[in-house]
Amino acid sequence: MIELVAAAMPHAEVMAGMHAVCFAEPWSPRSMAEVLLMPGSQGLIAVDGASLRPSLAPPGPAGLVMWRCLGDEAEILTIAVLPPWRRQGVGALLLTAALRDAAARGAATMFLEVAADNDPAQALYRRHGFEPLGRRKGYYHGIDALTMRLPLEKPKSTPGAAEDPGPVE
């Protein structure tokens, strides 16, 4: 079973390890810690089987998402799912949680950048309603970056409805 755990400084190393598996340009544990410490920075780790011990098969940490909220704007900083867990809804779970949290913190729009040749990530983002906003030529070592945007829905507070979980602690 996958549960989402709020990312904190002690997780920097395991998060950097996951990032290194998923990206050609990995963030070091130190960079990961610096991102966690940035104002407005939030993170979640998808943990499968209640274990944070690095693993390429369950149980273990399956993926992560980091985002940043500044005023009424938010940005996905990174999102990644380890290969054995892909196409099982983990990326969607992480992205949805980040969108919900950013909206709960008062963000009206979520932005992100994605490599123009990253079809899986673009498919994930489009499926969640992100639309292309612009293009940065050669942003990723010669590969263009697409900037995408999603207007966020204000959290609903319906009397009698289940309580909104609110922002990630």
Ligand X SMILES: CC(C)(COP(=O)(O)OP(=O)(O)OC[C@H]1O[C@@H](n2cnc3c(N)ncnc32)[C@H](O)[C@@H]1OP(=O)(O)O)[C@@H](O)C(=O)NCCC(=O)NCCS
84 CB contacts (<8 Å, ≥6 apart)? 56, 57, 58, 62
Q: Determine the Cα–Cα distance for residues 40 and 145; give it in Å rounded to an integer.
A: 23
**Rounded to the nearest whole angstrom, what is the least distance from the CB of residue 113 to ligand X in the complex?**
7
**Rounded to the nearest whole angstrom, what is the least distance from the CB of residue 160 to ligand X in the complex?**
31
Environment class of 42 (CB within 10 Å of its CB; exposed 0-12, middle 13-18, buried 19+): buried
**Rounded to the nearest whole angstrom, what is the least distance from the CB of residue 157 to ligand X in the complex?**
28
> 30 vs 127, which CB is nearer to ligand X?
127
> 21 vs 166, which CB is nearer to ligand X?
21
**Rounded to the nearest whole angstrom, what is the least distance from the CB of residue 156 to ligand X in the complex?**
24
> 87 vs 141, which CB is nearer to ligand X?
87
Query: What residues line the site for ligand X (CB under 6 A)?
Result: 22, 79-81, 86-92, 114, 118-121, 123-124, 127
> 119 vs 164, which CB is nearer to ligand X?
119
> 93 vs 107, which CB is nearer to ligand X?
93
Q: Determine the Cα–Cα distance for residues 105 and 97; give it in Å rounded to an integer.
A: 12
Residue nearest ligand X by beta-carbon distance? 91
Task: Spell out the alpha helix ranges (H) of 76-150.
Answer: 90-104, 119-127
H/E stretch holding 34 reads helix 29-37
Side chain identity at 26, as an amino acid letter? P
**Rounded to the nearest whole angstrom, what is the least distance from the CB of residue 23 to ligand X in the complex?**
6
